[in-house]
Amino acid sequence: MNDDTSPRLHTTADAQGAWVQLQGRWGAAELGQRTNWRALKQALSSNRISPDVGWDLESLQWLDHIGAQLLWQHWQHQWPARVRVSEAQRAMIERVAKFQRAPLPQRPSMGLMDRVNQLGLLVLGALGHMRHLVELIGQLVLDLGYLIRHPRQGPWRDFSGHLYNMGAMALPITALVGFLIGVVLAYLMALQLRQFGAETFIVDILGISLVRELGPLLAAILVAGRSGSAITAQIGVMRVTEELDAMQVMGIRHGFRLVMPRAMALALSMPLISLWTTLAALGGGMLASDLTLGISAAYFLETLPSAVSIGNLVLATAKSVVFGVFIALIGCHWGLQVKPNTQSLGAGTTASVVSSITMVIVVDAIFAVAFKNVGF
């Protein structure tokens, strides 16, 4: 495009020396055209900034902030030694220069000692979180002792509210996910067992895997994502709104009013949610077994008690209680660590969910190794 409005450069010379003359319209509409942009970039690369060359902008038909920014960047964020500009053009370029961000300084490369120090800070931070979590466990034990001695002073209304929100409200999603997991497991197992003529063993495999491991684990992960994040968000908002500081001034203990009701609610509801999820998963597995292998629901229900001993159910219930207590404590820990700003609240909620799910998997692995002879 070579009409009079296309942005371009023209080299001239006079008694003062060489000049780069800007012509045409240096605006967003003209610079947005690919042909104009490529031609102008090539022309600018051929006319580098130099103290021997001046820049003449008086012949420009139009200059907006896009053209001024392009020109200012080409000048390397400083005025040339010789320049001819109008007052309006100078004001435009100075306005662009005022709001132009300087490039961020390059981050120095980390040496070995810097990496060691960074690792040490991470370890110290993790130890600090563990120390606070141990303090919460100790305070919970003391608060439970006080509650046993003074039951009338207990936060029973808070406990019932948390029990409903964390327990009853979680039943639909846990039943749906458990049912679908049971269907998927039954279909996958059916494909393998059919090759060996061992279709009847699907009851044993589903029963042991769901009752002992997958049911409690799946329920705990769902509760950690649902209730753990809610606990952190609730207490974190209280930190942002300074309610925690007000409680401390009034002499109300955080552990007794905030931590203990939530821990008690999850300790009671978690085994029930685990059992509910396991039943839903067994229902899904039973339906899929009937459709794929022709194993009737009557045979499934008749064989299941002999395939799964009562010890597996007791073990699942016990570790579900541990899951519930730790999910509540971790949620409360990150909620109490929130600083009075929204960014810290979001980071604390994310850390709470990740920590809770990681804890659930670690505790489940410990139970699996420690009680490997139970239920067989």
237 part of a folded domain: yes
Q: Are strands 8-14 and 60-63 parallel, antiparallel or unpaired?
A: unpaired
327 part of a folded domain: yes
DSSP secondary structure string, 111-144? -HHHHHHHHHHHHHHHHHHHHHHHHHHHHHHHHH
117 part of a folded domain: no
111 part of a folded domain: no
| Domain end marker among 99, 133, 168 | 99
Do residues 214 and 341 both lie within one domain? yes
109 part of a folded domain: no
Per-residue pLDDT of the chain (376 residues; tens, 9 = 90+): 456 778 888 888 877 778 888 888 888 888 888 888 888 888 888 777 777 788 888 888 888 888 888 888 888 888 888 888 888 888 888 888 877 666 666 677 777 888 888 888 889 988 988 999 899 999 999 999 999 999 998 899 999 999 999 999 999 999 999 999 999 999 888 888 887 777 778 888 898 899 989 999 999 999 999 999 999 999 999 988 888 889 888 888 888 999 999 999 999 999 999 999 999 999 999 999 888 888 888 888 888 888 888 888 999 999 999 999 999 999 999 999 988 888 888 899 999 999 999 999 999 999 999 888 876 6
Task: Check residue 82 and report its DSSP letter.
Answer: S
Do residues 354 and 293 both lie within one domain? yes
First to last CA, the chain: 84
CATH number of domain containing 19: 3.30.750
| Domain end marker among 68, 99, 130 | 99
Q: What share of the chain is helix, strand, coil (3-state, %, to 5)?
A: 75, 5, 20
- Structural domain harbouring 364: 122-370
Structure-block tokens of residue 104: 């961020």
Do residues 340 and 231 both lie within one domain? yes
Do residues 264 and 179 both lie within one domain? yes
105 part of a folded domain: no
220 part of a folded domain: yes
> Residue 1: its pLDDT value, please?
45
The CA distance from 312 to 293, in Å, is 26
b/e sequence 56-93, b meaning 16+ C-beta within 10 Å: bbeebeebbebbbbbbbebeeeeeeeebebeeebeebb
Could you give the number of structural domains in the chain? 2
Do residues 163 and 26 both lie within one domain? no
| Domain end marker among 99, 134, 166 | 99
**Residues paired with 84 in a beta bridge:** 56
Do residues 209 and 329 both lie within one domain? yes
